[in-house]
Amino acid sequence: QMQLVESGGGSVQSGGSLRLSCLASGHTDGTVSMGWFREAPGKEREGVASIDSSDLSTDYADSVKGRFTISKDGAKNMLYLQMNFLKPEDTAMYYCAADRGLWARYGGLKGVPKYTYRGQGTQVTVSS
């Protein structure tokens, strides 16, 4: 089993920045892909960003491209999401997710909310 714990959420004004962190523990070997997805009231879950564990290639939703950056520190088992130029529409619960299945490499951002492992989420609120 793998455990994921997010931190770093909070309330900011439009245009501000936040950095989300996710600590992975337990059985982390063999992770194929990690990512972030978000969920807002009345909206579908949205895969925001993903990063491949082998070549560190990244993918971003069009809604966050150019503003968010996903990265990981393998030595520390940490995943990050740097969020800049935040907008009110970024307000949501943000979840860290991971999967060891090869399908995750080809699942795209739509696959991120379906990853096997996910954390408890951290709330991000952006006010105008």
* pLDDT tens track for 91-109: 999 999 999 999 999 999 9
At residue 122 the predicted structure's pLDDT band, cuts being 50, 70 and 90, is: very high
How far lies 116's CA from each of 3, 14, 32, in Å? 11, 33, 11
| Integer Cα distance of 12 and 23 in angstroms | 23
- Residue 109's φ and ψ, nearest 5 degrees, are -70, -25
pLDDT of residue 3: 97
pLDDT at 28 over 90: no
Mean pLDDT of 16-33: 95
| Integer Cα distance of 100 and 32 in angstroms | 5
Mean pLDDT of 18-32: 94
As given in the structure block, the two tokens for residue 95 are 């979840």
pLDDT of residue 12: 98
pLDDT at 117 over 90: yes
| DSSP class per residue in 33-82 | EEEEEEE-TTS--EEEEEEETTT--EEE-TTTTTTEEEEEEGGGTEEEEE
CA atoms within 13 A on the CB side of 55: 4
Give the number of other CB atoms < 10 A from CB of residue 100: 17
